Amino acid sequence: MASAAATIRERVMAAGARIKRVKRVDRAATYTITLGGIFIVVSVSFIFLFIFGQALPLFRPAHGRAVGVMPLMGVTGADGMAAGRPLALGTDEYQMYLYELLPDGRLVFFKTQDGSKAKEFATTSLAGAAVTAGSRSLIGDYVAAATGDGRVALQQVRVLPRYEEQRLVDLETEVRDRGLVEVDPTHRPVRAVRYQEEESWQLVAAQVADDEIAVLRRNPDEGAEARHALRSNGGERFTAFELGRADTLAAGTEKGNVYLWELGDEPRLLHLSAVSSQPVTALQYSIGSHSLIVGDAAGALSAWFRVRTKDDEPELSLIKAHDYDGQGQAITGIGQSTRDRTFVTAAADGSLVLRHLTSERSVVSFPATGARPQEALLTPRSDAILVRNEDGTVARYEVTNPHPEVSWRALFGKVWYEGYAQPEYVWQSTGATDDFESKFSLVPLVFGTIKGTFYAMLFAVPIAIMAALYTSQFAHPSIRQRVKPVVEIMAALPSVVVGFIAGLWLASRVEQQLVPVLLMFAFLPAAGTAGVLVWDRLPHGLRKRLRPGMELAVIVPMAVVGVWLALKLGPGFEGALFGGDFKGWVHSALGLVYDQRNSLVVGLAMGFAVIPIIFTISEDSFSSVPSHLTAASLALGASRWQTALRVVLPTASPGIFSAVMIGFGRAVGETMIVLKATGNTPVLDWSVFNGMRTLSANIAVEIPEAPHGGTLYRILFLAGGVLFLMTFFVNTIAELIRQRLRERYKAL
């Protein structure tokens, strides 16, 4: 007895030890799984924070500070007296030198660091004549010095950097003589002058009377020149004018009108538009000379450009596309950046506002100083502002303005871009020229993501769920054991391979057989249903002798017949209903354009990639339905299809919903299939016959064009954050719905 008791005691102790070990293992597993879950949550949170941390600088405000009035020293005339107030101002890209055009015709260079005079260049062609007006061009550093007898000396400032041991030590400056021209044969004094060169042509415009601007167009290489006089209507006084790079001249008047001429062999007045109720006090073309920025005596500011608002309009119209916050005082100067569409406006009270033309942002403001500005200049790198005041002083401001083109409206609202008939959502980050207007609307990309996902899910969900339902409830176990692994292997196919096949092979086949492919969407379900009906009509005795799952021997051939009928009848349908050209009919009747790589191809290819995920999870959900439910349904006289649709499908609905949402997440984040199987055109159109651009594909496309830390670089991170939020929001809603469905059917 003692030995038996000892044996029992040993067994109990051994069992207790095993239970303790199991509990320790269980606790360790619990801690490991918990820590793993926490690690995943923390990792995802850090990814989220990293993405938005990279995008956050887009919305940080720009900064600026007033450096003060620059002490320009050593400027005297030939008589030792003060040389007079400067007439034009310029600087180099590195801000090492600042130069002024003086009334005696000299170009004097100063060191920016301390204001000391570095060198000077005399305008020898003027032979000592007094200069009454001057200007510097935005592009090319072309300087014009006009006299009181209707002549203009043309020069170009050139700056070359000098390096020692790969370090910039100084700049070599030179002034090239571009000729002396007589812009007004009657020798009237020039009040204001503008000068540009484009290709081999020189273009000089000079105001010689209240209502007259003299224009000289000259080709010094060929010796050709033409003079024209541009006059206002009714003797209106011109108050400001500006030359555009595309041989255009805009002039504002005291009555608030703007004249816009096209300069050629014979000038042509394109527009006479009332842009303000106040006198126009400042004009400036934006980079590229497409938009004209207009400031008036009340401090109002607007931007105008020419566009055809309707397709049938014979001429372009001059429209106001942008309105900006006013400054309360007359706008006396507008300085345009040579890098982007940033510009600075100076008011009569000395206040400055740095703005962006497209986004309409007021980026940085500087308070009034009391000194009246005559000219405002943005440095070539847009990192400083120089202001030439009426008293001859030059004020300097430092600016840090990395992302002026970004605003919530520019990213998610409609913007009126140059050349567009109305405000639109547009994504176009780069262009072929330096004066390209960047367009950063994320709306077309979000729309394209939703559109591509919609067509993929429209194709994949019915096929995947019905295939899973058939496999789990109707197919013989031997067939199920083969079908499920094969479908799961489909998920292992690289999406780049699927996209490659879809873009190079499937897209062309769909284009060639478009009508048959569309007919298949009707014929295949009809043929499959017919196969089911044929199977159901077979003699009961014959069906009993056949193994379960043999209905595929009827359904599959019927589906093949459906495909064959679609291919055979398609050309006849196209000829009878659409005149033999379905794509042409779509364009003429529906106004839609057929692109070879379109949403239909994307839906088929991406649906093929999503089907395995939805199928696998749905099949597991169907197979997990308790057998007593199906047995009870069959015992009560329901057929297998009635049991599947009315018992199994509702009971498995939480799992099916999860499968659909996981497939949705797969489709939303898909990159390579969308990248290769569509034209990547960011358009807002639900048409199945054209393409789209998704957020993920856009990131892949734009990465080579995005310099580190630049605006495009950070907007791509923002696009990734938007994609992250989209999937997070959808998955959260899906989980809430799944939990409700689970609560509803848990009693079963």
pLDDT, tens digit (0-9, with 9 covering 90-100), for 711-731? 999 999 999 999 988 888 888
Ramachandran angles phi, psi of 137, nearest 5°: -80, 155
Q: For residue 637, what are its two tokens?
A: 């006289």
Average pLDDT of the residues in 268-285: 94
Contact 608, 461 (CB under 8 A): no
Name the pLDDT band for 206 (thresholds 50, 70, 90).
Answer: very high
* Nearby residues of 746 by Cβ (< 8 Å), 6 or more positions away: none
pLDDT digits (tens, 9 = 90+) for 132-168: 999 999 888 999 999 999 999 999 999 999 888 888 8
User: Which residue from 125, 78, 131 is spatially nearest to 101, judged by alpha carbons?
Assistant: 131
Contact 321, 305 (CB under 8 A): yes
pLDDT attached to residue 678: 86
pLDDT digits (tens, 9 = 90+) for 189-202: 999 999 998 878 89
Strands (E), 200-324: 201-209, 212-219, 224-231, 238-244, 248-253, 257-262, 268-274, 280-285, 291-296, 301-307, 317-324
pLDDT digits (tens, 9 = 90+) for 369-412: 989 999 999 998 889 999 999 888 899 999 998 888 899 999 99
CA distances from 206 to 151, 215, 279, 453, 595 (A): 9, 6, 20, 60, 52
Average pLDDT of the residues in 63-77: 78
Name the pLDDT band for 83 (thresholds 50, 70, 90).
Answer: low
Long-range contacts of 581-590 (CB under 8 A, 24+ apart): 582/514, 582/515, 583/511, 583/514, 583/689, 586/689
* Nearby residues of 105 by Cβ (< 8 Å), 6 or more positions away: 122, 123, 126, 128, 129, 130, 131, 145, 153
Contact 152, 145 (CB under 8 A): yes
Name the pLDDT band for 81 (thresholds 50, 70, 90).
Answer: very low
pLDDT attached to residue 486: 86
Average pLDDT of the residues in 632-658: 84
Whether the pLDDT of residue 84 is over 80: the answer is no
pLDDT attached to residue 80: 47
- Cβ atoms within 10 A of the Cβ of 44, count? 12
Name the pLDDT band for 74 (thresholds 50, 70, 90).
Answer: low
Average pLDDT of the residues in 84-102: 89
Name the pLDDT band for 5 (thresholds 50, 70, 90).
Answer: low
Q: Which of 110-114, 429-433, 633-637 has the lowest mean pLDDT?
A: 429-433
Residue with token string 């379905």: 582
Look up residue 478 and give its amino acid: S
* Nearby residues of 342 by Cβ (< 8 Å), 6 or more positions away: 336, 354, 355, 356, 357, 363, 378, 382, 401, 404
Report the DSSP beta bridge partners of residue 342.
Answer: 356
Greatest mean pLDDT among 476-485, 555-564, 738-747 lies in 555-564
pLDDT digits (tens, 9 = 90+) for 415-431: 999 989 899 999 998 87
Q: For residue 294, what are its two tokens?
A: 């207009």
Q: For residue 685, what are its two tokens?
A: 């159109």
User: Which residue from 717, 551, 566 is spatially nearest to 47, judged by alpha carbons?
Assistant: 717
Name the pLDDT band for 336 (thresholds 50, 70, 90).
Answer: very high
Q: Which of 535-539, 595-599, 676-680, 716-720 has the lowest mean pLDDT?
A: 535-539
Whether the pLDDT of residue 73 is over 70: the answer is no
